[in-house]
Structure 1
Amino acid sequence: MAIYDIVKFPNPVLTTPANPVKSVTPNVLKVLDNLAETMKYANGIGLAAPQVNILRRLAVVDVEDGRGRLDLINPVIVEGRDEAIGPDGCLSIPGLFGDTMRYRYIRVRMLDRSGQEVEIEETDFRARAIQHEIDHLDGILFTSKAIRLYREEEMRREANQKKG
């Protein structure tokens, strides 16, 4: 496996919609595995192919909830409900975080690793992470959806104030 270089904002690839995957090939599976390796190396919970300069509708998510990695191939949200404000951050915009409105429940249609169309249902933090990655595939950054943006230092300061 390989570790990709993560593209940083303001690279225009981050705001360019990705192209659908025509078929699940060994190369597509290799890209997914490399995305996962890169995500882990960068201490992330999700990574989309455009973030490594590959304009294909591919992403991986692993929120470390014991359910393992989820590979997303041509994902489309077909249902979403129960919006809630929550935290967002991005490996392509290090040190910047925000509060965004996202669905707590989603149903997603996509291809699995064998190329079969499947639908999955996800909730809470895993659903939030999937929506963030699908946004990347559509050329949308969390900063355009943020209700409030803050730097890492502000986040630490607020956390320390809550403790003390």
Structure 2
Amino acid sequence: MAEKEILPFGDPVLRKKAKPVDELSPKVLKILDDMVDTLYAEEGRAGLAAPQIGILRRLIVMDCGEGLIELINPEILEMHGEQIGPEACLSYPGYSGIVKRANYVRIRTLTRTGEIMELEGIGYLARCIQHEIDHLNGILFIDHVEEGQLFKEPTKQKADLMEALKLSRKS
């Protein structure tokens, strides 16, 4: 297991759609283990998708305060309700933004042992799931932020959303 480098905003890999995992090989399990190491090395962060470490596969690791969750080929089955709140991203260090998300989400995913599992998330867990699945589809949290709602940390000074979007789309 090893900590991996997280791709910064502007890296074109972050805008690509990840491919499904076809086989739960030892290589895939090692990627998950490396992702867990990387996530926990970043204090206070909730999730990490494989594209953020340069691997275009549909893999996510999360810990939203209730313990580790690993998602392999997750797909959203249902979502409803609404919540509006702050989000940040390991690939956008130093920024946060106000984002509207569904308050409830139900997904289907594989476990590392190959079992199909359904998972429901409400509130913060629903937000984390949606944020990370967006990464698998080349969508970033700043794509959901409205003008005037992106902030530089820790000062909470407003940042230029259009400039951030331009930087994130450079290839």
The TM-score with structure 2 as length reference comes to 0.87
Give the CA deviation at 1:96: 0.8
Q: How does 1:24-39 map to 2 (within 5 A)?
A: 24-39=24-39
Give the CA deviation at 1:153: 3.1
Residue 28 of structure 2 aligns with an amino acid whose one-letter code is V
Of 145-154 and 104-113, deviating more is 145-154
Residue 115 of structure 1 aligns with an amino acid whose one-letter code is G
1:48-106 CA-partner distances (Å, limit 9, x unpaired): 00000000000101012xx3100010011110011111111001011111011111110
Residue 91 of structure 1 aligns with an amino acid whose one-letter code is L
Distance 1:3 1:153 in 2: 25
Q: Is 1:69 matched up with 2:93?
A: no
Distance 1:86 1:9 in 2: 21
Residue 69 of structure 2 aligns with an amino acid whose one-letter code is L
Distance 2:122 2:25 in 1: 29
Give the CA deviation at 1:28: 1.2
1:114-159 CA-partner distances (Å, limit 9, x unpaired): 1122111111111111110000000000001113211113339xxx
Give the CA deviation at 1:45: 1.1
Of 25-34 and 126-135, deviating more is 25-34
SS of the residue 2:131 aligns to: helix
In the other structure, the counterpart of 1:10 is 10
Give the CA deviation at 1:42: 1.6
Q: Is 1:141 matched up with 2:140?
A: yes
Count of matched residue pairs? 155
Residue 56 of structure 2 aligns with an amino acid whose one-letter code is L
Residue 12 of structure 2 aligns with an amino acid whose one-letter code is P
SS of the residue 1:126 aligns to: helix
Report % sequence identity.
47
In the other structure, the counterpart of 1:60 is 61
In the other structure, the counterpart of 1:112 is 111
- For structure 1, the residue ranges without an aligned partner over 5 or more in a row are 157-164
> Runs of at least 4 residues of structure 1 off by over 4 A?
none
Distance 1:114 1:127 in 2: 23
SS of the residue 1:30 aligns to: helix
In the other structure, the counterpart of 2:79 is 80
RMSD over aligned CA atoms reads 1.4
